[in-house]
Structure formats: C-alpha cells, structure tokens
Amino acid sequence: MAVIDLITGFLGAGKTTFIKYYADYLVRLGESVTIIENEFGAAGVDTAFLSGRGFNINQLTGGCICCSQKVNFHDMLLELSHQGCSHIIVEPSGIYNMDEFFDIVNSPAVKSCCQVGSILTIADPHPLTDLSEEAMYIMYSQLLNTGKVILSKTGNITPEEILSSIADLNDLMKHYKSDRIFGTDVCIKNWSDFTDDDFESFRNVGCQAHWHEEKRFDHSRLYSSTTLADFCQNEADLLHALKQIMSGRCGYILRIKGYIPTLDGNCYEVNCSANELFVTSCRPRNALLNIIGKDINRKKIKEYFVGTPKVSS
C-alpha cells in the first residue's frame, strides 16, 4: 500500500527545497518515491530543480488539486499505487485548501490502495501582511491538521522572532476558533543541520484530526497566474525588473518563480515572494516564469523584459 505524505505551506514558504532533502532521504532508505508537483500556473518550473535525484516527478499544472485538478489528482494517486510506487510525496500549490485533501484520500478507491503518512507544513517565520480573509483561511487549513510545522529560513532570525512567529501561528488558530496550540510540534532547526533522525521523525509524525467549520471558495476569484516564456533580460537590469514587478506596479504579486536567460548567455533561477528575492546563477535553461497574484497587469510585466515574451493566462 502506497504511503502519501503531504508537504504543504503558503506561497514561497520553501516546500520544494524541503522536499528535495526529504525525498533524498527516502530514496536512501530504498523507497520507490514519486513526487506529485502541483503548480497553480500553466507551466511547472520545479521539475528542473528536483530532477535527476533518483525519484520520479509527476506534474499537475494549470490549477489546484483541491479544485480544477481534483479529479486528475485522485486518478494519479490510483495510477501510482498500481504501478508499485511505495511513497508518494504531494506538493500542492501554495494556495491549496487542505479541506479537499481528506475528501480525496478518504474516498473508497484511494483508501483501498493508499494510506496517509505524514502531513508537514512549511512556514515562513517572517509574517505576511495584507492577506485577504480567504488567504488567511488557506494558511489556517494548511496548519490545522499538520503533524509538524517546519519553519524555513531560520538561519538569520533571532530567538525572539521565532517566538513571535509561533505566536502568529497560534493567533491564526484563535482567529478561526481552533483549540490547537503550537509549541513543541514546531521544528525550528536550520535545514542544513537536519540529520537522518530528523527525517525519520518527519516520516513518522503522521497528522492530527481537528474539527473545524469548512469554507469553500473559488480559487480563480482569489488569485490568478500568468506564465512568461521566450524572453531574456539584460543582466544589469534583472534585479531592478524583479523589484519593480514585486513592488505593486504590476498588481498584487505574491510569487515569481522560474528561469531568466540574459543577453550575454548566462541564466538565473528566480525565486521571489513577499519577504524575499533570490536570484542565483544556474545552467542554461529556456526562459520560464510563473507569476501568481491578484489583478496582474500582464502588459506592464512584459515591459520589464527584453523582447516580446509569450504570455498565457
């Protein structure tokens, strides 16, 4: 029977990076591992980051597995189990509504061949501001039944900031009248210091069951996405362009992720969220950016890049 681990967390929390470490551990144990990558955008950018590491990657793009991709997700779980996969790691989009996960894994067909292992929630310790009520509920749903909260990006924050972050998680629980209180079930360890014992604890932590009043809503009303391809950028203007796009000039942008080639032949991996902007050199790749936000001005975004990128909704 295949084990399903769900690695959830809001946009930009660090899910994909954690999965790389966690899946490497499972492969070393001899597990047959498949990662289901769910991208809200029209194209998947995480496959390149995760590929070539001894596990399989299946993509579901162009919508969330809690709504428009729900049936495809259900069928993919059945197919992977029947193919003999022993461990399925699910990385949903950052705006995934957890309420729908249990509907799928508790369906008779899935329960006959799969079982839920651990639910792990990756949380950015830096607070997000100006979130809509729907976005706050998504974060709440991702936290409520988790077996463990794993804080990301803890390398340069103080103990006081960590305590404040945990207090923010508990305030979110109180906001939705949940009795769950986070404390020892929050991992604050720097990820570079994780040991096999840590990963084994994640593998066995399971999940919790807390009743709550579910809220259902249409993701297409909450956020939208656009995908850019076939473009490049002057290297000197790259950071400026990304900062301008994230500043609010092109709409309320929550996430930019992908690859940008430059005119001089270099290429950069781009990872931007509300609290950070990372640009790192990488091997040459085709241009591809997924942008998630609200009231996205596609025309304005194109003006920050060289050439005429192909844009799809």
**pLDDT (tens digit, 9 = 90+) per residue, 140-157?**
999 999 999 999 989 888
pTM of the shown model? 0.86
CA distance 61 to 93: 9
Q: Which amino acid is at 252?
A: Y
**Lowest mean per-residue pLDDT among 17-21, 116-120, 192-196, 225-229:** 225-229
- Distance, in Å, from the CA atom of 266 to the CA atom of 76, rounded to the nearest integer, reads 37
Query: According to the model, what pLDDT value does residue 220 have?
Result: 61
Lowest pLDDT segment from 116-130, 272-286, 295-309: 295-309
The CA distance from 110 to 75, in Å, is 9
By C-alpha distance, which of 7, 69, 80 is closest to 41? 69
Q: How far is CA 171 from CA 98, 148, 179, 217, in A?
A: 19, 17, 11, 23
Residue 65 has pLDDT above 90, yes or no: no
Q: Which of 293, 237, 284 is nearest to 265 (CA)?
A: 284
The pLDDT, as a whole number, for residue 120 is 98
Q: Which residues contact 83 (CB under 8 A, 6 or more apart)?
A: none
- What percent of the chain lies above the pLDDT cut of 70? 92
pLDDT at 33: 95
Q: Are 19 and 29 in contact (CB under 8 A)?
A: no
pLDDT at residue 74 is higher than 70: yes
* Domains 2-204 and 223-312 belong to one CATH topology: no
Mean pLDDT of 44-60: 72
Instruction: Output the pLDDT for position 310.
Output: 44
Strand order in the sheet with 252-261: 276-281, 267-273, 252-261, 288-294, 224-229, 310-312
How does DSSP classify residue 191? Answer: G
SS3 118: strand
User: Is residue 7 over pLDDT 70?
Assistant: yes
Give residue-wise pLDDT tens across range 248-275. Answer: 999 989 889 889 888 888 899 998 987 7
Domain residue ranges of the chain, discontinuous segments joined by + = 2-204, 223-312
Q: Which residue has the higher pLDDT, 54 or 48?
A: 54
Give me the percent of the chain exceeding a pLDDT of 90: 50
When pLDDT is cut at 50, 70 and 90, the band that residue 60 belongs to is confident
Strand partners, 148: 120
pLDDT at 232 over 70: yes
What confidence score (pLDDT) does residue 308 get? Answer: 43
Instruction: Give the tokens for residue 63.
Output: 């919508």
Strand 276-281 and strand 267-273: the pairing is: antiparallel
In this prediction, residue 41 carries a pLDDT of 61
CATH superfamily of 223-312: CobW-like, C-terminal domain (3.30.1220.10)
pLDDT for residue 186: 97
Quick one: which of 19, 21, 33 has its CA closest to 88?
33
Is 72 in a helix, a strand, or coil?
Answer: helix
pLDDT of residue 127: 72
Residue pointed to by tokens 């651990």: 118
- Other Cβ atoms less than 10 A from the Cβ of 106: the count is 10
d(CA 172, CA 176): 7
Neighbours of 56 (CB within 10 A): 16
Class at the top of the CATH hierarchy for domain 2-204: alpha beta
| 79/89 Cα distance (integer angstroms) | 14
Question: Region 168-179: what's the mean pLDDT?
Answer: 94
Please give the average per-residue pLDDT across 16-35, as a whole number: 94
Quote the longest CA-to-CA distance of the chain.
Answer: 56
Bridge partners, residue 33, by sequence: 87
